């Protein structure tokens, strides 16, 4: 009957209306659940729709209503489990409220991000969630604000743009964990991040990633408070790909005054750093202590299990999506934004440095 399989054009409200012997407007009302429709008409329309296998054209619907029930998400790297998990939080939340998600991956390129935002706006998404590749160059985000479409930030802040931001406070956790390392006797604490910089690092310098800036500030403060000099030479930014990170790790651990502890800025970096340490024949934590950001399940499987800074990434996704949808729907905030706090999970990868005695004499 109806499944003749040929390239039939889509069934429209007009078709349904004709079949149900009502006006287009009435059919549309019944189908779209709005306006006033008598039970009799609704029944006939719904029956006809079913019979004809009618499916609404959401594009046309969106054109009229100005609502697409879609939110756009822009992240640097969906392959990174950090974002994979945040994405899960976002999609779960979106689905619950009847929204779909368009995902764009920028490879942490600002140009791609500018493009992504523009495309999403052109597609008339109802709102945007962006994990900005740069916290400094934010004019395109400012444009989103001016377009009037809701925007929230994920994972990183953006200077000069007045938007709700859902990210962990990195300064305090960085301070806390650095203090922990200092207390264990470490003075040569390295920090490895892939964040790109043009200029070589100097203390207090603003980086593309507010998160990394905050972490460095935290390290800085911990050293200051301990009355110790800040080993800026051990800050390694623009770390690049896996090979490059391994090389940097070897550099850090070789030389006359090697690092006694290494902090990896994310799980991907951590993999390469730990691999390089193992390849060097050094052991954790006897030869070098190790700390990383993000608590992935595999960090419990290494020997020793790794001490990590756990971030509530899934919750961050949920919070960002909830807030965005709230704004889209014009509802007021029901309460304070959820606290997104990172925690130091002490497992086995931090110990005393080999030359602990010497340092404790020198340091205090």
Partner DNA sequence: TTGAAAGCGCTAACAT
Partner DNA sequence: ATGTTAGCGCTTTCAA
Interface positions with DNA (CB under 7 A): 9-10, 12-14, 22-26, 28-29, 31-32, 34-38, 40-41, 54, 56-57, 60-61, 63-65
Q: Which is nearer to DNA, 86 or 125 (CB)?
A: 125
- What's the rounded Cα separation, in Å, for the pair 294 and 191? 15
Q: How far is the CB of 329 from DNA (least distance, A)?
A: 15
Binder among 15, 51, 77, 164 for its own copies (CB under 8 A): 77
Residue 283 near its own copies by CB under 8 A: no
Q: Which is nearer to its own copies, 92 or 257 (CB)?
A: 92
DSSP character string of 32-48? HT-S---HHHHHHHHHH
Show the tokens assigned to 125: 């998404």
User: For residue 69, is the peptide bond before it cis, meaning its omega torsion is within 30 degrees of 0?
Assistant: no
Q: Do residues 291 and 263 make contact, with C-beta atoms less than 8 angstroms apart? A: yes
Residue 34 near its own copies by CB under 8 A: no
Q: Using only the alpha carbons of the chain, give its radius of gyration.
A: 27
Residue 91 near its own copies by CB under 8 A: yes
Residue 7 near its own copies by CB under 8 A: yes
Q: How far is the CB of 167 from DNA (least distance, A)?
A: 35
- What's the rounded Cα separation, in Å, for the pair 167 and 152? 11
State which H helix or E strand residue 264 sits in. strand 261-264
Number of residues that bind its own copies (CB under 8 A): 51
Residue 244 near its own copies by CB under 8 A: no
Residue 139 near its own copies by CB under 8 A: no
Binder among 14, 47, 63, 341 for its own copies (CB under 8 A): 63
Q: How far is the CB of 280 from its own copies (least distance, A)?
A: 14
- Indicate which of its own copies, DNA, none lies near residue 22 (CB less than 5 to 8 Å, by partner kind): DNA
Q: How far is the CB of 360 from its own copies (least distance, A)?
A: 31
Q: Which is nearer to DNA, 18 or 110 (CB)?
A: 18
- Indicate which of its own copies, DNA, none lies near residue 183 (CB less than 5 to 8 Å, by partner kind): none
Q: How far is CA 302 from the centre of its chain?
A: 26
Q: Which is nearer to DNA, 28 or 212 (CB)?
A: 28
**For the purposes of burial, counting CB atoms within 10 Å of the CB of 200, is it exposed (0-12), middle (13-18) or buried (19 or more)?**
exposed
Binder among 95, 96, 206, 346 for its own copies (CB under 8 A): 95
Pairing of β 189-192 and β 261-264: parallel
**Using a CB cutoff of 8 Å and minimum separation of 24, what contacts does 358-364 make?**
359/185, 359/186, 359/187, 360/185, 363/187, 363/226, 363/228, 364/227
The SS3 of residue 192 is strand
State which H helix or E strand residue 339 sits in. none
Q: How far is the CB of 57 from its own copies (least distance, A)?
A: 6
Residue 70 near its own copies by CB under 8 A: yes
Q: Which residues within the stretch 106-125 sit at the binding site for its own copies (CB under 8 A)? A: 118-119, 121-124
Q: How far is the CB of 67 from DNA (least distance, A)?
A: 9
CB atoms within 10 A of CB 38: 11
Question: CA angle, corner 290, sides to 286 and 296, nearest 5?
Answer: 130
Q: How far is the CB of 141 from DNA (least distance, A)?
A: 23
Binder among 32, 56, 348, 363 for its own copies (CB under 8 A): 56
Handedness of CA 193, 199, 201, 202 (dihedral sign): negative
Q: Which is nearer to DNA, 64 or 334 (CB)?
A: 64
Residue 234 per-residue DSSP state: G
- What's the rounded Cα separation, in Å, for the pair 125 and 102? 9
- Indicate which of DNA, its own copies, none lies near residue 100 (CB less than 5 to 8 Å, by partner kind): its own copies
- Which distant-in-sequence residues (6+ apart) come within 8 Å of 240 by Cβ? 194
User: Footprint of its own copies on this chain (CB under 8 A)?
Assistant: 3, 5, 7, 55-60, 62-63, 68, 70, 77-81, 84-85, 87-88, 91-92, 95, 100-105, 118-119, 121-124, 146, 148, 268, 271, 274-275, 278, 296-298, 300-303
């Amino acid at each position: 009957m109806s499944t003749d399989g040929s390239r039939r054009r889509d069934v429209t409200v007009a078709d349904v209306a004709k079949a149900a012997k009502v006006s287009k407007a009435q059919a549309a009302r019944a189908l779209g659940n709005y306006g006033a429709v008598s039970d009799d008409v609704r029944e006939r329309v719904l029956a006809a729709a079913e019979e004809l296998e009618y499916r609404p054209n959401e594009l046309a619907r969106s054109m009229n209503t100005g609502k697409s029930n879609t939110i756009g998400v822009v992240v640097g790297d969906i392959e990174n489990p950090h974002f994979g998990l945040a994405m899960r939080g976002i999609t779960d939340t979106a689905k619950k409220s009847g929204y779909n998600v368009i995902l764009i991956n920028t490879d942490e390129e600002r140009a791609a991000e500018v493009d992504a935002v523009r495309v999403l706006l052109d597609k008339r998404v109802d709102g945007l969630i962006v994990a900005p590749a740069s916290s400094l160059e934010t004019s395109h985000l400012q444009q989103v604000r001016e377009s009037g479409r809701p925007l929230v930030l994920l994972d990183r802040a953006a200077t000069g743009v007045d938007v709700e931001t859902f990210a962990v406070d990195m300064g305090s956790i960085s301070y806390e964990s650095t203090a922990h390392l200092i207390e264990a006797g470490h003075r040569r604490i390295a920090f490895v991040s892939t964040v790109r910089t043009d200029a070589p690092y100097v203390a207090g310098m603003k980086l593309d990633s507010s998160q990394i800036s905050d972490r460095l500030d935290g390290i800085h403060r911990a050293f200051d408070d301990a009355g110790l000099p800040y080993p800026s030479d051990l800050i390694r930014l623009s770390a690049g790909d896996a090979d490059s990170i391994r090389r940097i790790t070897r550099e850090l651990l070789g030389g006359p005054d090697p690092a006694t502890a290494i902090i990896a800025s994310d799980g991907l970096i951590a993999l390469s750093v730990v691999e390089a340490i193992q390849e060097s024949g050094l052991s954790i934590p006897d030869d070098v202590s190790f700390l990383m950001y993000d608590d992935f399940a595999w960090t419990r499987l290494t020997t020793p299990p790794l001490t990590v800074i756990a971030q509530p990434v899934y919750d961050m996704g949920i919070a960002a999506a909830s807030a965005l949808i709230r704004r889209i729907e014009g509802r007021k905030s029901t309460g304070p934004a959820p606290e997104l706090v990172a925690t130091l999970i002490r497992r086995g990868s931090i110990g005393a440095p080999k030359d602990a005695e010497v340092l404790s004499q020198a340091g205090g």
